[in-house]
Amino acid sequence: MLTSHHYLLSANLNGDIGVAMFRKILLFIMCTGLLSCDQESAVKALDEKPAVVQLARVQAVPHQNKYSFPATVSAVKTIELSFEVSGRLNQLDLVQGKKIKKGYLLASIDRAPFERRVDEQQVRLDIAKKDLGRIKTMFDKGMASQSMYDNAETQMELAKIDLNNALQDLSYTQLRAPFDAQVSERLVDNNSYVQSGKSIARLQDLSRIYFTFNVPERILSANANNELVSATATLLSRNSPSFDVEYVEHRTQPEPITQTYQVVFAMEPVDKQVFTPGARAKVEVTLENSQPLSGLVLPLSALVGDKNKGFFVWRYQQQQKSVEKVTVTVLKIIGKRVIVDSELTESDHIVRAGVNQLVEGQQVTPYKAP
């Protein structure tokens, strides 16, 4: 027969056991609740609508490097024409945009004052010759001194120099094209009085067509020892064909602000093809990669991670329409591309944009341009 003491002891034991069990159950519920929240988040990420991603194909390191640069059409050279003497223009044939041949008479100034000076110097030379002849005869007969003879000879030589100067000034009254050119700009009008050295026009040498563009320092340095394979230029106009161009020169001092180097390629003129200096063009250059690295080329934007934790990319699995993480080792970064060592193959596609928002196994849809 149980006493009241036994009932109280039994109640206390049952109460202690109940509390302990309640705590365990509560702890279990809390743990399973937390786990279910994590699992639910992961499942939710997988069950959400597939993310749209941009893909890029994995490529092997090329043996040739190809670049495209915006360029400007320019003349071989542009010069400013001016007279060596002063005078009034009485003939001017400077039509802007006109193409002219070498030796073409572009302008002339009044020749009359210069012709009179030539005649004057010719008379002085004739007089100096006669004086020299007369004094030489007297010198041979001992009737003139050596100094008189030397002075007469000097006067004749000076007269020759003055005549040559006058003839040269007369030739300077006509301005002719120094090469096949195009009149870029006329700076004076006919009947104007021009001073010697004052520019009257600008001429452009179009014997060759120049394409000028700027190359970033990193590209120039990376290809310093690479051989040029080919280069083409295309005008930025509708249905413009491409033309083969060849290297001419490049500056070795960079632009202080942009840190780029000016490079010039050129081509011979083409019949019925108009190349206007200042026109926009595109130059595509192919260079032989003298020291190609072994590895794969990926877009730099596809990398996830850092130097301390390592890098990986998201490989697209076509059958599962999902992504998986693939570890890569970075070998070299060139501009917006990176060369890596990895288990990837050239048939793989990787995600190239929005890589930080993806998780392992996430469903994705490749972006297709409209």
pLDDT digits (tens, 9 = 90+) for 198-234: 999 999 998 899 999 999 988 888 788 888 889 999 9
pLDDT per position as a tens digit, 239-265: 889 999 999 999 999 999 999 999 999
pTM here is 0.59
Position 28 scores a pLDDT of: 52
Looking at the domain that runs over 52-61+293-366, which CATH code has it been given? 2.40.420.20
Q: How confident is the model at residue 370 (pLDDT cuts 50, 70, 90)?
A: confident
Position 291 scores a pLDDT of: 65
Mean local confidence (pLDDT), 326-349? 89
Q: How many CA atoms lie within 13 A of 362 on its CB side?
A: 24
Sequence length of the chain is 370
Q: What would you report as the CA-atom Rg of the chain, rounded to the nearest whole angstrom?
A: 44
Position 20 scores a pLDDT of: 53
- Phi and psi for 166 in degrees, rounded to 5? -65, -40
Residue with the bigger pLDDT between 288 and 113: it is 113
Mean local confidence (pLDDT), 97-113? 94
DSSP string, 276-325: -TT-EEEEEEEEE-SSPPSSEEEEGGG-EEETTTEEEEEEEETTTTEEEE
Position 48 scores a pLDDT of: 65
Q: Is it true that 52-61+293-366 and 68-74+208-287 share their CATH fold?
A: no
Residue 347 burial (C-beta neighbours within 10 Å; 0-12, 13-18, 19+): exposed
Q: How confident is the model at residue 24 (pLDDT cuts 50, 70, 90)?
A: low
Q: How confident is the model at residue 63 (pLDDT cuts 50, 70, 90)?
A: confident
Q: How confident is the model at residue 238 (pLDDT cuts 50, 70, 90)?
A: confident
Mean local confidence (pLDDT), 326-334? 89
Position 203 scores a pLDDT of: 94
- Which tokens is 226 given? 């690479």
Mean local confidence (pLDDT), 33-37? 47
Distance of CA 73 to the CA centre of its chain: 12
pLDDT value at 358 more than 60: yes
Q: How confident is the model at residue 270 (pLDDT cuts 50, 70, 90)?
A: confident
| Sequence ranges of the domains in the chain | 52-61+293-366, 68-74+208-287, 111-172
Position 61 scores a pLDDT of: 82
Spatial CA neighbour of 365 closest among 344, 351, 347: 351
Residue 118 and residue 170 in contact, taking contact as beta carbons nearer than 8 Å: yes
pLDDT value at 31 more than 80: no
- Which tokens is 4 given? 């009241």
- Which tokens is 121 given? 């110097």
Position 294 scores a pLDDT of: 76
Spatial CA neighbour of 338 closest among 305, 365, 360, 290: 305
Mean local confidence (pLDDT), 96-106? 92
Does the structural domain 111-172 have CATH classification 3.40.50.300?
A: no
Of 37-51, 194-208, 258-272, least confident by mean pLDDT is: 37-51
DSSP class of 49: P
pLDDT per position as a tens digit, 67-76: 999 999 999 9
Does the structural domain 68-74+208-287 have CATH classification 3.30.540.10?
A: no
What angle (nearest 5°) sits at the alpha carbon of residue 114, between those of residues 113 and 117?
Answer: 90
Task: Work out the number of other CB atoms within 10 angstroms of the CB of residue 369.
Answer: 4
Which residues neighbour 48 within 8 Å (Cβ) at sequence distance 6 or greater?
363
Place of tokens 């490079």: 263
pLDDT per position as a tens digit, 169-182: 999 999 999 999 99
Position 292 scores a pLDDT of: 64
